[in-house]
Amino acid sequence: MDKPVTTSAQETALACLDGIQPLLSAWTRTIFDFGETAWREYQSAAWYVDRLKREGFSVEEGSGGMPTAFCAHWTNGAGPTVGMYAEYDAVPGNCQDAVTVKQPRPGLGAEAGGHTDPHSGLGIASLGGLLATKAAMQRHDIQGTLRFTGEPAEKVRGSKPIHAARGYYDGLAGMISFHPFYMLPLCNTARWDTHCGAAYAMIYRFVCDEPENWVRAGDGAPIPQAHSAVRAPGANDALMTMYMASKALRDSMLPHQGGWSISEAILTAGQATADNLPAGLAEIQYMVRVPTLRMADQVTAVLDRNAAAAAAISGCRYERHWVSKSRPGLANHAMAGIAYEALSTVGPPRWDEAARAIAREIQVNAGGTATENPFIDELERLISPQEAEAILRRDLPPSQVNSTSDDYTDMSWHAPTARFYVARPALRSANGSAYPSWVMNALGGIPATIDPMVICAAKTVTLAAMRLLEDKAAREEAMSEFDTRTGGGVGGSNWIAPLCDYEPPINFRWPEYVTTARGRDWWIPTCA
């Protein structure tokens, strides 16, 4: 297809990005090296807040009651408001330096946080698009407002349901959502009909605060849990009973089809110093990813029953604390068209010979064989939203409307939303076996390999934003479709209201970096 003609303001925005590309590269590496995980992205959030203030934005820090979230605004007079956002949370157990060998970042062990998707590039690409849009609005006196939110804890679908419930996505002409490619065929394209599904995340807390009530009174020993007495099993046993029961029932709760999943993580298991006392507190988190809210409710009911049984067996009580209640996504073809047209104008990212040489070195260091073209072919191709949709649907039952998981979906119920994907570097396998995870993580931090994605995505973000600001007909088409799909817009007959009826889950024992007399370290100490 012929590339669309760009406006003079769009050309200004693209030129701005060409000018600040070295800065975007350095900023991407900065966030990559922070490697902070969900709800504990203190340095990353502070960096964004400082940068945005320097760029003339007004910034609300700690938006929605989340210490590592923010909401920034810049206005150039009356006009439409366009939304963009940054994510910056990393993943525990994925600490990888930006080098061609398996190696954690200096001073840390492999169990520390690291960027996998990488959200470091996601956030900076969106920031670049934001700054270029602002520059074009100033240069060409385009009226309107830019809203940029900082979204922590995406890996547990954390911030966006909270922001949505508290009105941070209301009043937008459109929301532009970028994510690095993570699965074919969603590479250099936009989502069409099949958007991400629902997700619930919750923490079950087991508390053994009355162990004396677990058995009948004993022989009058002065210590109810004396060494020779029958003792309550306690919270650790409750957690393990919950863990095993839910593992055993997983096949009944979820079929092995359509991208459904349930996963768990043990947050707290006490207590390591007592002699014969039952553990008083233990916590386990579950993440349920399913196509519909009804399925999420069904799985939650099973988990609740398991928790009640585990608590009763072990002399405990249990509490359920919500981490996320996230809605499935709502399609908007008009917005998908705007995003894909912008991506088509930019063209797919390209990797030069320097990047290919680095990739070949990684192929060898990961136990593979260097290939002439180390990257998969799809990275430098565009695929239309409609064609990608047809491929995606091949493995899904016709009744399944949503698939896979991401919390941008909560934005889609408050504003017309475009979700697009740009290729990140992915290596070609010479023998058909998968590369270890450190390979993708390293490629996401090395400037020569990740910068092509960042600049391509930033240009796509700014062209889509400029289209919404300059093209009233395009805005109206997107909003009309939004109103139709929701049955009248926000609050309409087909609209799903925010599910967040809980406070931000910021006070749990989330993995994080700590500073003690030993220095700064990950919460699991680095091996000597």
pLDDT tens figures, 442-471: 999 999 999 999 999 999 999 999 999 999
pLDDT tens figures, 457-506: 999 999 999 999 999 999 999 999 999 999 999 999 999 999 999 999 99
d(CA 291, CA 204): 23
pLDDT at 430 over 80: no
**pLDDT value for 217:** 59
pLDDT at 2 over 60: no
pLDDT, mean of residues 363-376: 94
**pLDDT value for 185:** 97
User: What kind and span of H or E run contains 125?
Assistant: helix 119-140
What are the beta bridge partners of residue 178? Answer: 420
Q: From the CB of residue 399, how many other CB atoms can be counted at a distance below 10 Å? A: 8
**pLDDT value for 479:** 98
**pLDDT value for 255:** 61
Q: What is the pTM of this model?
A: 0.95
Least trusted range by pLDDT, from 288-297, 414-423, 443-452: 288-297
> How far is the CA of 231 from the CAs of 74, 211, 214, 215, 311, in angstroms?
62, 7, 8, 8, 15
**pLDDT value for 148:** 98
Q: Kindly give the residue spans of alpha helices, DSSP state H, lying in 315-431.
A: 333-346, 353-365, 385-393
pLDDT, mean of residues 268-280: 76
Q: Give the pLDDT band of residue 98 (cuts 50, 70, 90).
A: very high
Q: Give the pLDDT band of residue 249 (cuts 50, 70, 90).
A: confident
**pLDDT value for 489:** 96
pLDDT at 256 over 60: no
**pLDDT value for 336:** 98
CA angle 281, 283, 285 (to 5 degrees): 175
**pLDDT value for 232:** 83
d(CA 160, CA 154): 8
pLDDT at 163 over 70: yes
**pLDDT value for 119:** 98
Least trusted range by pLDDT, from 17-21, 383-387, 508-512: 508-512
pLDDT at 44 over 60: yes
pLDDT at 208 over 80: yes
pLDDT tens figures, 298-320: 999 999 999 999 999 999 999 99
Q: What domains are there in the chain, each with its CATH number?
A: 8-195+328-486 (3.40.630.10), 199-327 (3.30.70.360)
Mean pLDDT of the chain: 93
Distance of CA 376 to the CA centre of its chain: 24
Q: Give the pLDDT band of residue 252 (cuts 50, 70, 90).
A: confident
d(CA 409, CA 330): 7
**pLDDT value for 270:** 79
Q: Give the pLDDT band of residue 3 (cuts 50, 70, 90).
A: low
pLDDT at 101 over 90: yes
* E strand segments, 23-105: 58-61, 70-75, 81-87
